[in-house]
Structure 1
Amino acid sequence: MPARPLAQPPAGSPAVVLFIAPCFEAQGNQSVIEPQTYLYYIQLKQSQPSQGVWLPYDANAEKTLEEDFHRLWNTKFLDNLWIDVSDYKFPNGTIGKIVTYNLEERQRVKIVDYLGSKKIETSKIDEKLKEADAQIRLDTFIDPGLVRKVQGIVLDMMKEKGFQFASVTPEIKEISGGPKLVHLTFHMDEGPKVKIRKLDFVGNKAMSDGTLKRQLKDNKERPGFEDAVHLWDWIAGALGDRGTFQETKFDEDAEKIMSFYRDHGYVKANVGVPQLKVLQDTEDKKTRWIELRIPVNEGERYKVSDFEIAGNTVVKSEFLKPLFKTSVGEYYSEKKVRKGIEKAREIYGTGGYFEFTGFPEYKFSDDPVQNAPEAPAALKPVDGDGHDVKASAEPTVHVTMRMKEGEQFFVNRITFVGNTTTHDNVIRREMRLVEGAPFNTEALKYSVKRLNQLGYFKALEGKPGEVDVQKTPDIPNHVDVKLKLEEQNRNQLTFGAGV
């Protein structure tokens, strides 16, 4: 409470704002943020008795008080906030209001660690968090949302290692050294590692289990010695990580299976949710063997009834169609379509259409026709017992390749960085990409190949940032190309071929 004021407002005056102050009593009267910072957000003004200035505590003051509350809370500095208003009675009976802003700040992170797992290194966790923009920086406020995000990322990392029954539990402990400082620990409990002893596909008829298993990349079974066809397969499985169930990578495996089916005409094939059946745990409880059952719905196998190109204005259809090597009457193959799109991208790229893309649209012969009238009963085919007979025609698909050509782009500037001894003009002699000309992506690839063969620089291998193409600001339909080079020792002979 403030010292008793020497001056007082006129007798009979309405209540005045006598004194305002932030208070940190809830955290030992110490603040992390300078109190002056909070005063910046407090807009309520107090009276100045020594100058005879008396500010009324009225409806406007209460409105400002409410706005102060929201301003302070929106700083996100606080865990708790409440405002007390008490009365001080002057000798002449006038009431002075004492306004106290009670502030309890959020906890701040002093230490972060990850305990409980020998398989997940802290450095790997830090890399993963950096990729996901989820780093918990020291001396920052605790963010419950960020803590939950980190918890989920670490848990996914453990599942990728085969610990499907793992758990991650964050713990926050207050520590000495200052107000609201905490030690944040993520406790990792691996649980048993899940290994696939047996893997079965359910619902597949056209493709054998063995064929589908060969499409899998991450979730492979680890057979016992008696089940292994080759000794080396058994040794590789025993020594390596083969057979570990990786739930987070199952979607990728499922896509590989569906892609394989689509390559063989099963356009509508899909893979269901995997089913896990626990077989046994090892005596040390570190490994849990399971049977993995993967449901498959193959659907029909479709032949191509028609194949056409649509959406193209730059390149004629008769030039594009042969790229897809798809003929009417043969089974549909998505692999051919993918290769065709790659070839088309090369053609469009030579003309500066580097944003070109394409995708197939399907119209299936067995799709129900909307609002089509049902055939009269007398015209429906029946068998010897009088039952309806379904049409036995082989299902077909009408494929339309939809081209999204995009706009044509030209080269504005070509620049080089990292060439500390080699002059730009030497590099430009090897470039087949020309400023002012259409942005020819194939010429750019060939230019990189020539630079690699020059032997002056470390090979450009397609790493991020090595060849940077950006749209030119303020100049429509132009790009700037920057090559990041690294000189290598000229005294060292380099032999090689190709890119």
Structure 2
Amino acid sequence: MRRATNGITTRGKSRRDLVKPAAVKVFLGVSAICAAGSQPALAQSYSFSNVVIEGSTRVDATTILGFAGIERGAAISAAELNSAYQRLQNSGLFEKIEVVPQGSTLVIRVQEYPTINVISFEGNKRLKDENLAELLQSQSRRAYSPAQAEADAAAITELYATRGRIAATVKPRIIRRSDNRVDLVFDITEGKVVEIERLSFVGNRSFSDRRLRQVLETKQAGILRTFIASDTFIAERIELDKQLLRDFYMSRGYVDFQVLDASAEVTRERDAFFVTFTVQEGQSYDFGQVGVSSEIEGVDPTEFGDLVTIRRGATYSPGVVENNITRMENLALRKGLNFVRFEPRVTKNAQNQTIDLNFVMVRGERVFVERIDIEGNTTTLDEVVRRQFRTVEGDPFNPREVRQSAERIRALGYFGDARVDAQPGSSPDQVIVNVDVEEQPTGSLSFGLSYGVESGAGFNIGFSESNFLGRGQSVGVNVSTGTDSVNSSISFAEPAFLGRDLRFKFSIFYTETNSENSRYDTRNIGISPSIDFPISENGRLELRYKISEDVISDVEGSEASVPGDPDVSSAILREEADRGALITSSVGYSYNYDTRRTGLNPTGGLLLRFSQDFAGLGGDVQYISTNALALAERKVWNEDVTLRAIFEGGAIHMLDDNPSRVTDRFFGNGKIRGFESNGLGPRDLNVSNEDALGGNYFAVARFEADFPLGLPEEYGFTGGAFLDAGSVWSLDNVNGGVDGTDEVDDGFHLRSSIGLSVFWTTPIGPLRFNFAKALVKEDYDEERFFDLTISTKF
């Protein structure tokens, strides 16, 4: 087939011609003209009145001539002819090119790259085909490009590298088919996960390697390395680790801290990394003189100075400075002082290692927020991100507020990354705040088996979603069973109820138990809506309502009338069971004060909780139930050891003539280690069952220390020691025995225990092994030397 257009003649090949082995050559037709080293040959020039293009089927002649850059009738040299060939080659469209001068005719022969028929992957087990396909630029039914195939292979290799498989190799190859088509296949050798064998530090004197490893996002490989993803090496994570180290040291007063180097070396076998951080700590500084001054005429700084909570001699921390600035700027806004900024001007006194701080009130630039643009939130609604800002469009622009908003967005846990910056707006006094987020999975479905000394072996299933339908709402469904118990719950929470900082929660629960050391069963079912909100920087208040039904059943000996019958429960329990199913309708509140939330003191914190529930708003039961907890903890010895003191107590006071029931009273389970479940407190010794009855009051004091065991950190083992003391006491009805004529001892009897703990961090949660010895106890108390639980946090 021949085609001629504007002096360009094309001789096409049928698409059914098979592609021959790749070859590239250029004929300049100058074998007789262009002898090696011959000056006349170098000066040879050509002029073509006709261009013949052969072999093109998909690419038209005009496009080919455009790439060649040759004009008809124009004189060109051999070098320019060679450049034309190079341009054709660089177009990436042709597998074979020949440029052949034939007198006044230039023949350009091309063989186009074949069309990709299908793309497939071989050898991949860890990553699915659809995940790999998302990375490719090569596509079916388009021309095959070796350069693009190599680039795609490099992208796949990079993805494997981010998963810790830096030894992975990807090789593209083609399988030729008919009609100038090929199948593109990526042969993948995944290799093994390249783990971080050792994380070490150079230059650290104030903190141990173990303590600094806890700061980093990167983790050492451990014995559970198969289940842990953070022990793989990701180069991008190193920069985050460097910033985390800076934040750690700065919050402890090391204002001169620097990360001098962060190096990662791979072993000769390419199966492990050694990561080393070289740091320069400097000295820790404390706060010296702190004051507030004003450069704004007519503004008295005295009222703002009263808000400063920095104590002279306290360890310097940028977080403390930021919190005080925020507090003063909020006061300025309430007083109608817009565009007022508080600049912290520091004076470092190296001799006595103190920093004098002066908050200077200055007039900031009159800049407003034109708009807030949010990108990348494919699932999460704009309003969920937007409500993390304390400013809206049209408000004065505050750079500090933008930084804090970015931190709040990251703290949501909905995004793998969140970047917030400000750019000039449509006018000099306007800025546009850009928010760029990257979504990440927020839901989980879990199945598992569990074991506890108290609950025995059990099965659990749970579903949780912290960003339900992208609205920032959380939904949870949990069902767990033990040897003698069933616990299930459904919960829903809206963190921004009515568009404000109000957290609304609604839960439904069902519990069924066959109490250990007591021969009776209980069932509890109910619903509880609640709402909580901040009332101070560190305090939150929760208001709640609960309605539930409680049943006591299968009390042994309920039909017995003869004293001394075997398997007889206390008359107290039988009387409580005879009352049947009772409805409890209560309202309550909880106040929670937690300085650990703000991190103002990075080496310690305080937690206070106080709650009360008032039953009697309808229902069958009337009482006031009060609970209180105080916790203080501090890290010592270069923060390797944590000391903790916990004081907890509770009381229930009945408001009618009916006594409390076992479903209302306290048992102190888990409060004092070294005792069985329901193993301490008032007990009816006048019956064969010797049932544990619980008490109207409980009080405990726990003292704990957590410390390293000297084992490699990657094993996940740490140790602890504890001392517990307290008691459960007081009953409304002490008429026990078989017929209610024997009095039960419900007095305050102190119990105490001492023991050691082993903590093991596992993928299913932190396990805690307790080995306890009761020091002070009653003869009828039930002891437990060993206890295994999933460790919880207050």
- TM-score, normalising length from structure 1? 0.51
1:262 maps to 250
| 1:290 to partner: Cα distance | 7.3
Q: Which residue of 1 aligns with 2:184?
A: 183
| CA distance in 2 between partners of 1:184 and 1:169 (Å) | 10
Q: Is the 8 A contact 1:22 1:100 kept in 2?
A: yes
Give distance in 2, aligned partners of 1:84 and 1:407: 67
Aligned to 2:51: 20
Distance 1:34 1:462, change over 3 A: same
- The match for 1:252 is 240
> What is the 5 A alignment of 1:272-311?
272-274=261-263, 294-303=277-286
1:336–1:397 Cα change, 3 Å = same
Query: By how many angstroms is 1:324 displaced?
Result: 8.5
Residues 477 and 113 (structure 1), Cα distance of their counterparts in 2 relative to 1, 3 Å cut = same
What's the secondary structure of 1:85's corresponding residue?
Answer: strand
AA paired with 1:438?
A: G
2:53 and 2:108 in contact (8 A); partners too: yes
Letter in 2 for 1:155: T
Matched-pair contact (CA < 8 Å) for 1:302–1:397: no
Report the 3-state secondary structure (helix = DSSP H, G, I; strand = E; otherwise coil) of the residue aligned with 2:231.
Answer: coil
Q: Which amino acid aligns with 1:147?
A: E
Q: 1:341-380 residue pairs with structure 2 within 5 A?
A: none
CA separation of 1:346 and 1:315: change in aligned 2, threshold 3 A: farther
The answer to whether the 8 Å contact 2:196/2:232 transfers is yes
**Structure 1 residue 264: Cα displacement:** 0.9
Query: What is the alpha-carbon distance in structure 2 between the residues aligned to residue 157 and residue 32 of structure 1?
Result: 34
Task: State the shift of 1:177 in Å.
Answer: 3.8
Contact 1:269 1:299 in 2 (8 A): yes
Please say if residues 155 and 167 of structure 1, whose CA atoms lie closer than 8 Å, have aligned partners that are also in contact. Answer: yes
1:34 to 48, 57, 60: 60
Give SS of 1:222's match.
coil
Does the C-alpha gap of structure 1 residues 437 and 146 become closer, same or farther in structure 2, counting only changes over 3 Å?
same
Q: 1:101 aligned to 2:108?
A: yes
Q: Structure 1 residues 160 and 495 mapped into 2: Cα distance closer, same or farther (>3 Å)?
A: closer
Q: Please point out which of 323, 330, 334 is paired with 2:318.
A: 334
Residue 266 of structure 1: how far off its partner (Å): 1.7
Structure 2 CA distance for aligned equivalents of residues 175 and 355 of structure 1: 69
Partner residue of 1:394? 353
Which residue of structure 1 lines up, in the alignment, with residue 150 of structure 2? 147
Hey, what's the Cα distance between the residues in 1 that align with 2:126 and 2:248? 34
For 1:214 and 1:335, locate their aligned partners in 2 and report how far apart those are by CA, in whole Å. 20
RCO greater where, 1 or 2, for CA within 8 Å and sep 6 or more? 1
Q: How far apart are 1:123 and its partner, in Å?
A: 3.0
> 1:350 touches 1:440 (CA, 8 Å); kept in 2?
no
Structure 1 pair 303–124 and aligned structure 2 pair: CA distance change class (3 A):
farther
Matched residues, percent identical?
13
Partners of 2:243 and 2:107 lie apart in 1 by 61
Measured in 1, the distance between the counterparts of 2:340 and 2:169 equals 44
Contact 1:162 1:193 in 2 (8 A): yes
1:240 aligns with 2:227: yes
Task: Give the alignment of 1:43-62 within 5 angstroms.
Answer: 57=73, 59=75
Aligned pair in 2 of structure 1 residues 158, 403: CA closer, same or farther (>3 Å)? farther
Give the distance between the partners of 2:167 and 2:349, measured in 1 at CA.
48
CA distance in 1, matches of 2:366, 2:416: 26
* CA apart distance, 1:120: 2.2
Contact 1:108 1:181 in 2 (8 A): yes
Q: Which amino acid aligns with 2:159?
A: M
Whether the 8 Å contact between 1:222 and 1:243 is mirrored in structure 2 is no
The equivalent of 2:168 in structure 1 is: 167
Contact 2:157 2:168 in 1 (8 A): yes
Query: Cα gap change, 1:265/1:78 in structure 2, threshold over 3 Å: closer, same or farther?
Result: farther
Counterpart code for 1:171: P
Q: What amino acid maps onto 1:123 in structure 2?
A: E
What secondary structure, in the 3-state scheme, does the structure 2 residue paired with 1:175 have? strand
User: Quick one: which amino acid aligns to residue 157 of structure 2?
Assistant: L
**Contact preservation (8 Å) 1:263, 1:334:** yes
SS class of match (2:215): coil
Match of 1:234 in 2: none
CA distance in 2, matches of 1:110, 1:253: 45
Over 3 Å counting, the alpha-carbon distance change for 1:306 and 1:32 in structure 2 is farther
- CA distance in structure 2 between the aligned counterparts of 1:83 and 1:348, rounded to whole angstroms: 78
Aligned residue type for 1:207: F
SS of structure 2 residue aligned to 1:251: helix
Residue 296 of structure 1 deviates from its aligned partner by: 3.6
Q: Is the 8 A contact 1:308 1:400 kept in 2?
A: yes
Q: 1:213 Cα shift? A: 2.7
Q: Which runs of 5+ in 2 are unaligned?
A: 4-45, 374-382, 402-413, 435-468, 472-491, 504-794
Is 1:115 aligned with 2:122?
Answer: yes
Partner of 2:394: 438
Cα deviation, residue 261, structure 1: 1.0
Q: For residue 284 of structure 2, give the secondary structure of its aligned residue in structure 1.
A: coil
- In structure 2, what residue type is equivalent to 1:208? S
Q: TM-score, normalised by structure 2?
A: 0.35
Query: Secondary structure of 1:204's partner?
Result: coil
Matched AA of 1:120? L
Amino acid at match of 1:183: L
Amino acid aligned to 1:211: R
Contact 1:199 1:221 in 2 (8 A): no
Q: In the alignment, residue 246 of structure 2 is paired with which amino acid? A: M
Q: Distance in 2 between matches of 1:399 and 1:136?
A: 60
SS at 2:244 equivalent: helix
Aligned mates of 2:96, 2:433 — CA distance in 1: 51
What's the CA shift string for 1:137-191, capped at 9, x where partnerless? 331552737834x44543343344333x522233232522444746141523313
Assess, with a 3 A threshold, how the Cα gap between structure 1 residues 320 and 157 changes in structure 2: closer, same or farther. farther
Larger strand proportion of the pair = 2
CA offsets, 1:194-234, max 9 Å, x none?
264x65444322123332232233414425xxxxxxxxxxx
- CA shift at 1:34, angstroms? 3.3
Contact between 2:196 and 2:233, CA under 8 Å: does it hold in 1?
A: no
SS at match of 1:84: strand
- Which residue of structure 2 lines up, in the alignment, with residue 214 of structure 1? 214
Task: Determine the C-alpha separation between the residues in 2 that align with 1:162 and 1:326.
Answer: 45
> Which residue identity does 2:281 align to in structure 1?
E
Aligned CA distance change for structure 1 residues 291 and 243 (closer, same or farther; 3 Å) = farther
Tell me the amino acid that sits aligned with residue 215 of structure 1: V
Distance of aligned partners of 1:83 and 1:440 in 2 relative to their CA distance in 1, 3 Å threshold: same
Q: Offset at 1:43?
A: 7.1
CA positional deviation for 1:86: 1.9
Partner of 1:158: 160
For residues 240 and 303 of structure 1, do their structure 2 counterparts lie closer, same or farther at Cα, with a shift above 3 Å needed? same
Task: Please tell me whether the aligned partners of residues 324 and 339 of structure 1 are also in contact (alpha carbons under 8 angstroms).
Answer: no
Structure 1 stretches lacking a partner, 5+ long: 4-14, 24-28, 47-56, 88-96, 224-236, 282-286, 367-391, 414-426, 446-460, 488-493
In structure 1, C-alpha distance between the alignment counterparts of 2:83 and 2:170, rounded to whole Å? 38
Q: Where does residue 204 of structure 1 map in the other structure?
A: 204
Aligned-partner Cα distance in 1 for 2:341–2:127: 40
Compute the displacement of 1:100 (Å): 1.6
**Shift in CA distance, 359/102, structure 1 to aligned 2, threshold 3 Å:** farther
Structure with higher Rg: it is: 2
What RMSD in Å do the two structures reach over aligned CA positions?
6.3
